[in-house]
Structure 1
Amino acid sequence: MQSQWKKSFAFIFGGQIFSILTSFMVQFSIIWHLTETTGSAAVLMIAGLAGFLPQAVLGPFIGVWLDRWNRKLTMIVADSVIALSSLLLGAYYLWGEPSLWVVYAILLIRSTASSFHAPAFQAAIPLIAPGEQLTRVAGWHQLVFSSSSVLGPALGIAVYSATSLGTVLLLDVAGALIANLMLLFVRIEQPKPEAVQTPSFRKEFKLGWASFVAAKPIVFLSIAMAVFSVVFMPLAMLFPLMTLSHFGRGGYSASVIEAVFGIGMILGGALLSAFASKWKDTTYMSISLIVIGLTCVGSGAVGNEAFIAFAVLSFFMGAAAPLFNGPYMAMIQKSFEPEKLGRVLSIVTSIGLLSSPIGLALAGPVVDRFGVQTWFFWSGIVVVLIGVLIYAKFYRSGEQA
């Protein structure tokens, strides 16, 4: 039994690394293409909204369906839709330059499919791994994610520069197909459905919401995560613009920043996997936010000749990220029964995603008027304060988490 669940995750992560890798290649290539061709923060923020908004709007309701549907099949269908959207956009770029609205529409489709895939994947993890291993598995997931984030931008810019964005998108199709093929070899037991007289979307949604609000520590952390998302999520779109506008460098330098950020994430994920049981989950989370905040402040303060300093700060920012994401997800997985987990995960995910468009809407005008460094600096101040608040809540009050 001990080796069986590890074997299952070897198949899952073995396939997912191809899908996540090619997704990073596509994500970076599209952002860089829009940055290079438009130079507009507003365009980048609209692209970000197209990528986040469907997940934010659909998220609270998707959980009800996820707890009814086969989670493995949901992941396969969602990945297939993402692959089809990449194929469509790739064909557009191979035949000519599509309008921005076509790009936004494809991003909306990919986001809609992702809104089913991500919570289905997270809700399936407790059905395979023992409860005491969930934080460690979260560390493995962060390692896969981080490794892909290192290679993805570098490979993406190399393929983009040598061929076209269309070729990068077609590689994403291959990555999704490999992930689905590997998933076919994994057996995922469905949780026993709740005893209800007749299926009722409204009642099942209310039960999921009631379960969520009853877990006070999770509610508090989700609110903190929402504020964090408002100020930090726009940075994912702004890193290439920082490289281009502030430092005056090109695509390869932008991919270097993505790579060092990802290398930091690999280190952070490895540390989390190795020392998962040493501290409480909230210890890792508060440390993560304080480090992320300080590195954002530093990035906002460096001069335009200090590209190496920016790269070093990006490394430590990346190293801190898994120490928040992994423990936060593990806390949620440990706090709720498997038959309700899909609904709770979709609610939690939506809280963060609904916050992200607010940040994106604010960041575009602010960056266009005051410069990209302004957002880095002040978002860092806010993130540090959130980390201190989590410390005060869970350590000085003696609450367990």
Structure 2
Amino acid sequence: MSQPSPTSPPLPAGQPSASVYRHSGFLAFLSARLIAVFATQVQAVVVAWQVYDLTREPLALAYVGLAQFLPMLCLLLPAGDLIDRFDRRRILALSWAVGAVCSGLLWWLSGHGATGVNGIYAVLVLFGCARAFSGPAMQSLLPQIVPREQLAQAIAANSMLMRAASIGGPLLGGVLYAIGGGELTYALCFICFALGAALLARVAVPYATPPAAAQGSMWQRFGAGIGFIRSRPIILGTISLDLFAVLLGGVVALLPIYAHEVLHVGPAGLGALRSAMAVGEVGAGLYLSMRPFNRRVGSTMFIAVAIFGAANLVFALSTWFWLSFAALLVAGAADMVSVYIRGALVQFSTPDAMRGRVNAVNMLFIGSSNELGEFRAGTSAAWLGVVPAAVLGGLCTLGVVGAWALAFKPLRKVDKFEEAAQAR
């Protein structure tokens, strides 16, 4: 691991983040992550369509999310501890290599005409194991690549480019599945994961600090990370707001059903719907990467999450494709603002020696809101019907925003990112 730079040189006045793209390690990291996220998005839309196409059961989509979430829950403790103790690049490369194996297995299942979904679920469990390590490793690696003064802009640029992959991935995945089924798409995912893992060798980490000597048991070290989060209401409020807002209000898992039964579009239309949120995210992320803001960040995050919930509510009630697309686009833009603020608050509040454990908990919350949220959405659709389930989800998101604004006053009142480190 590279030795840390003792101090980061101050940036010229009026140029808070002008040279972030001049870091070769940052560009290499962006390239590798862009490819891997592209593969993840392609694979997600194809798996969702394939499972629903085979079963026509909303509950089957719920199990897609659950199969990926449970391994993440079980591996939370070792993932966070290992990321703080070993080279984060190697852990991330190994995780993506396992992702390539999963794409290869899905490729093999499609090529052999598998008509059941049990094999797909088994592969998704292995993929969930890989994501338990890749998610927190990616988040913990970025502060080792760029100086602290440029971290907020790097987060915005990184998030924006990742959402760009989220546009092309679902669109291409839907089109390729419509043309050639799962074999072609899974083969592409295999290549992308393998290439992303190889590119990580070019990532420099000049701001990494040598890992501290391990003290106590793994449980004790992880307990210290939990204690740190509990002592920081800004971190706890930030990650728990995202957890419950998306867990209760997310509609992504319902998109295959909406495409089939409400909007009456095929796989290509599903890909467009999945890309709509990413279009809004990229637009907002592009603006933030050029014009990052650092005032009234707490209240802005609450407003953004409220807009996300309201836009999902519009989508839930819409029967017009383009209105649904527009609603998801607005939800994506609001989500990007929330992601930018949330990521910066967590990174500014956490010392490097504890980032693996804190980001492991953060990624568990994100995974809960996404994968477990898919299970919640699928079961709700099976019990209540797809439209009532989506409407209820949007209302729940708005309720969560109000409750968290009252419960986490320090988060609502924080003005600048730098203030997060001192807030207790």
Q: TM-score, normalised by structure 2?
A: 0.87
Q: Which one of the candidate residues 232, 249, 257 is aligned to 1:232? A: 249
Cα pair distance change 1:278/1:361, threshold 3 Å: closer
Q: Distance in 2 between matches of 1:152 and 1:352?
A: 20
Unaligned runs of 5+ in 2: 1-8, 10-18
User: Does 220-229 or 169-178 show the bigger shift?
Assistant: 220-229
Q: Distance in 2 between matches of 1:357 and 1:167?
A: 25
Q: Distance in 1 between matches of 2:127 and 2:151?
A: 28
Q: After superposition, what is the alpha-carbon deviation per residue over 1:96-145, rounded to whole angstroms, capped at 9, x for unaligned?
A: 22531110010010110111011111101111122232221111122122
Counterpart of 1:348, as a letter, is N
Asked whether the equivalents of residues 61 and 346 of structure 1 are also in contact (C-alpha less than 8 Å), the reply is no
1:282 Cα deviation from its structure 2 partner? 2.1
Asked whether the equivalents of residues 107 and 182 of structure 2 are also in contact (C-alpha less than 8 Å), the reply is yes
Asked whether the equivalents of residues 234 and 410 of structure 2 are also in contact (C-alpha less than 8 Å), the reply is no
Q: After superposition, what is the alpha-carbon deviation per residue over 1:160-202, rounded to whole angstroms, capped at 9, x for unaligned?
A: 1221202211111111122122211112254223355x55212
Q: Which one of the candidate residues 191, 206, 209 is aligned to 2:209? A: 191
Matched, 1:10 2:24: no
Q: Distance in 2 between matches of 1:64 and 1:397?
A: 31
Cα pair distance change 1:285/1:87, threshold 3 Å: same
2:54 is aligned to 37
Asked whether the equivalents of residues 24 and 149 of structure 1 are also in contact (C-alpha less than 8 Å), the reply is yes
Q: Distance in 2 between matches of 1:339 and 1:147?
A: 31
2:299 is aligned to 283
Written as runs of structure 1 = structure 2, the 5 A alignment for 1:246-261 is 246-261=262-277
2:334 is aligned to 320
Cα pair distance change 1:278/1:23, threshold 3 Å: same
Cα pair distance change 1:273/1:313, threshold 3 Å: same
* Paired residue total: 397
Written as runs of structure 1 = structure 2, the 5 A alignment for 1:351-390 is 351-354=365-368, 359-390=373-404
Q: Distance in 2 between matches of 1:358 and 1:77?
A: 25
Measured on the aligned residues, the alpha-carbon RMSD in Å equals 2.3
Asked whether the equivalents of residues 154 and 259 of structure 1 are also in contact (C-alpha less than 8 Å), the reply is yes
Cα pair distance change 1:179/1:347, threshold 3 Å: same
Q: TM-score, normalised by structure 1?
A: 0.92
1:26 is aligned to 43
Q: After superposition, what is the alpha-carbon deviation per residue over 1:185-231, rounded to whole angstroms, capped at 9, x for unaligned?
A: 112254223355x5521221122122221112111223322222321
User: Does 187-196 or 175-184 show the bigger shift?
Assistant: 187-196
2:187 is aligned to 170
Q: After superposition, what is the alpha-carbon deviation per residue over 1:328-386, rounded to whole angstroms, capped at 9, x for unaligned?
A: 12111111110111011112222343465654444333212332111221211122233
Asked whether the equivalents of residues 94 and 164 of structure 1 are also in contact (C-alpha less than 8 Å), the reply is no
Asked whether the equivalents of residues 57 and 354 of structure 1 are also in contact (C-alpha less than 8 Å), the reply is no
Matched, 1:73 2:90: yes
1:4 Cα deviation from its structure 2 partner? 8.1
Counterpart of 1:193, as a letter, is P
Matched, 1:308 2:322: yes
SS of equivalent to 2:23: helix
2:314 is aligned to 298
SS of equivalent to 2:119: helix
Q: Distance in 1 between matches of 2:410 and 2:225?
A: 28
Cα pair distance change 1:121/1:378, threshold 3 Å: same
Cα pair distance change 1:137/1:390, threshold 3 Å: farther
Cα pair distance change 1:360/1:182, threshold 3 Å: closer
Q: Distance in 1 between matches of 2:224 and 2:39?
A: 37
Q: Distance in 1 between matches of 2:141 and 2:220?
A: 23
Q: Distance in 1 between matches of 2:279 and 2:138?
A: 24
Cα pair distance change 1:360/1:17, threshold 3 Å: closer
Q: Distance in 2 between matches of 1:251 and 1:270?
A: 28
Unaligned runs of 5+ in 1: none
Q: Distance in 2 between matches of 1:78 and 1:3?
A: 26
Asked whether the equivalents of residues 284 and 333 of structure 2 are also in contact (C-alpha less than 8 Å), the reply is yes
Cα pair distance change 1:391/1:340, threshold 3 Å: same
1:241 Cα deviation from its structure 2 partner? 1.2
Matched, 1:113 2:130: yes
Counterpart of 1:194, as a letter, is A
Cα pair distance change 1:382/1:275, threshold 3 Å: farther
Matched, 1:263 2:279: yes
